[in-house]
Amino acid sequence: MWGSRCGPSVPRRFVVAVFLGAAAANSNAAAQADSAQLENRIIDEIRLIGVNYTKPFVVTRELASREGEPYSAAKARKDAERLDRLGIFSRIDVRGIEEQGRVVLEVDVLETTAFVPQISVRLTDEDGIQAGGGLATVNAMHRAMSGSAVVLVGGGFVSIWEDLRSR
């Protein structure tokens, strides 16, 4: 609690929370105001940020927004939803910005881990118990295809199982 110099006793956490909430509201309001100013202006550039492993065409093919077409905040939200459905990004931010009088659609993403190790155990009447490991990915060949490969040992032989699916 603060002393009597600051008026009524108010917890610091409350004051900090109110301040941060007001700052976030101002930031959102500014972003919405900027977005409203860009509405229906022609997109001069689509800038991809954070696309390191994935092929750029995988991202751009999912975008309804195109260079040379009017910017729409609603379309940018749909672009983010479509990118999220790919399942290969852990963070997605699609926003319009003004840069030197030009409209730029920034697509800022954080790619998920390329490969994830996995452990597998299988029990069948034919082979008995088998165990092994492998790798799985949701972005095989940099093209948003999921796949996995597992090597199982046991039951008198080694079996290799693989699966590759396009999204």
pLDDT in tens, 137-151: 888 888 888 888 888
Task: Give backbone dihedrals phi and psi of 67, rounded to 5 degrees, phi first.
Answer: -60, 140
pLDDT over 50 (residue 49): yes
Tokens describing residue 118:
């996995």
> Positive or negative CA dihedral for 44, 59, 96, 66?
positive
Mean pLDDT of the 36-51 span: 94
Prediction pTM value: 0.66
